[in-house]
Structure 1
Amino acid sequence: MKYLVINCDDFGQSPAMNAAIMHLLEERLVSSATLMAPAPGFEEAAAWCRKRGQTNIGLHLTLTSEFDALRWKSLTGDPSLHDEQGYMYQSVLEFERGANTKAVMKELDAQYELVRGYGIKITHADNHMGSLYGIAAGRSHIPQVLMRCARWKVPFRIFRRVHAGDVLATIEGVERAASKASALAGTLGVALPDYLLSHPFEIVEGETYESFKREIIAKLYHLPEGISETYIHPGLDDPAMMAAIPHWEKRVWEYRLMLDDDMHAAMKDAGVTLVDYRYIAAHGRESRFRAVRRLAAELLRRT
């Protein structure tokens, strides 16, 4: 069977993002969304979730603030989490080089507690811009994050295997990194999706909405067996945001795609079932015995 989670990242980034994500959640056209606790639109998003009793909301662990015209600070105010302008780092490389690990974990705890303080029962966690993965300078916080997720009793967005047709497959060493991280997750009892599917978040040369739609629909027909997740950043066609965020139009396309009848017809035709992270929590946990054996084997590997 083929199961797919479609998660809306960046919930709480801005009013335009919030409006789009709220609409998709109301219409049940996506699986879930993850909240950005430090971002300027967080209070609006969190209050909406609390009022509705939304049961498919996760935590978008946020340690970076990438756009020149839309910046935010950490909740804890630790100097090692900020650049010279006093905002969270704009790039993952800056974050990995500058952030103190104890400060990082204190910040993640603060973000978790803030969301929980709104009465929201968090169903999963993921990471803004992959800042915790160690992909820029090799300084990973994955072990610490997985221990937090074990304590919080929520699944986390990493993946067990790499789908050959996905852009993640082009990253050198990704399969071994995924194997080691997923083995640690299994050892700690943290549930995961089997695969993570990605696509370029900027508009590539010659790309149109129709070509983007064809690309995503084609992926549905080649979805591997098991539980996959893909994530989008839907937003409304908002003039202020289009002026502030590069490639904002791609976010409008992602919102439009989730409203497109062709997308949902293709999911049905391709035999893909839309699920949320509660399904992963129930079915995405590896046996600890097997996970411990895999982790030991990975740690003993030299090449």
Structure 2
Amino acid sequence: MHLPRAIAIAGWVTFTSASLVSAQTATPRTSAVSLIIRTDDIGMSHSVNMAMQKLVSTGMPVSVSVLFVCPWYQEAVEILKQHPTVAVGIHLALNSEWKNYRWGPVTGSAAVPSLVDANGFFFPSSEALHQHNPSVAEVEKELRAQIDRALRSGVKIDYVDFHMGTVTRYPEFREVAERLAKEYGLGMSGYFGEAMDAPQYFAAPDKKADSLVAFISRLNPGLNAVVTHVGIDDAELGALLDMNTDEPLADMSKNRQGELTALTSQRFSAALKGRNVVLLTYRDVIAREGLQSMRRPVE
């Protein structure tokens, strides 16, 4: 088995399409070490979109989760149309966590009043939302609207996942998400038996490559997934402050730049090659195993 051949170009690592191991030719996952790289919060801002563009331009197989509730999703869509092999997911959102940059429901606040605060924005945390007794019918209405917007965008949609974990945190929300995914024929991240992790999230910006390399070294055979958040360390992203007081990252902008730098580094590509890791996307997994293989993860 061969892993994508990495070529350094202008400081970035580029994966050539001819060298990629496809889902159809890869060794069955019981014996192979396979990895899904999922990148969240795309469409949140221009800075995040530019980071995503740099990541997908390497040719690395990735699954990109788009916040279709955010205004910048339209730019993300235009970028993704230029990279049709990238798997695209809907980052289903019921929260808006950034001070001075808030978003609300696709349906409009009047249509789902139990999901929004006095200003018509989503609540900043899962707990704050749940404390306001959200209507399950309104949750379904809003999640359906986000899916419909994504499907109208012009990019192929492969799967759904969940911003801040809110949609799967509460059983009544999870049941709605599962039903909608089945209705729309979409995969669900976490439902293919993949071992999910995000070890680099809490590492310092200059230690994120160390964290990812260590993560690769301890991967078990089978399907694994790492959840990442990329961004460009600039004034736009640096101005965002998390409203949740338990947020451990002192400088989100530098942390997201650190993840981008680590993912596109020679060290990370060498670690993948050293373990013969097969990079897959959710589109690959769905094509190989089918939506009928999905199972609710054990909690």
TM-score, length-scaled by structure 1: 0.77
The runs of at least 4 consecutive aligned structure 1 residues that moved more than 6 Å come to none
TM-superposed deviation, 1:212: 2.4
What is the correspondence of 1:1-303 to structure 2 with a 5 Å cutoff?
1-50=32-81, 52-53=83-84, 55-77=86-108, 78-98=112-132, 99-134=134-169, 138-159=170-191, 192-199=192-199, 201-202=201-202, 207-209=204-206, 211-245=207-241, 246-284=251-289
Aligned in 2, Cα 1:115/1:3: closer, same or farther, shift over 3 Å?
A: same
Q: Which structure is higher in helix share?
A: 1
TM-superposed deviation, 1:196: 0.8
Cα deviation code 1:73-117 (max 9, x no counterpart): 111121111112321110011122332111111111111111111
Cα deviation code 1:246-295 (max 9, x no counterpart): 4221101011012101101100101211110122213445977x97xx99
Cα deviation code 1:107-157 (max 9, x no counterpart): 1111111111122221111100000122xxx55522221121112222111
2:43, 2:75 within 8 Å by CA — same for their partners in 1?
A: yes
Aligned in 2, Cα 1:263/1:30: closer, same or farther, shift over 3 Å?
A: same
TM-score, length-scaled by structure 2: 0.78
Aligned in 2, Cα 1:223/1:149: closer, same or farther, shift over 3 Å?
A: same
Report the 3-state secondary structure (helix = DSSP H, G, I; strand = E; otherwise coil) of the residue aligned with 2:37.
Answer: strand
2:234, 2:253 within 8 Å by CA — same for their partners in 1?
A: no
What CA distance in whole angstroms lies between the structure 2 residues aligned with 1:152 and 1:55? 20
1:55, 1:123 within 8 Å by CA — same for their partners in 2?
A: no
What CA distance in whole angstroms lies between the structure 2 residues aligned with 1:238 and 1:281? 36
Cα deviation code 1:46-94 (max 9, x no counterpart): 2333355455211111111011122101111211111123211100111
Higher relative contact order (CA 8 A, sep 6+): 2
Q: Which amino acid aligns with 1:73?
A: G
Aligned CA RMSD, in angstroms, stands at: 2.4
What CA distance in whole angstroms lies between the structure 1 residues aligned with 2:96 and 2:83? 28
What CA distance in whole angstroms lies between the structure 2 residues aligned with 1:286 and 1:82? 33
Q: Which amino acid aligns with 2:255?
A: K
What CA distance in whole angstroms lies between the structure 2 residues aligned with 1:55 and 1:262? 23
What CA distance in whole angstroms lies between the structure 2 residues aligned with 1:229 and 1:36? 19
List gaps (5 residues or longer) in structure 2.
1-31, 242-250
Q: Which amino acid aligns with 1:96?
A: H
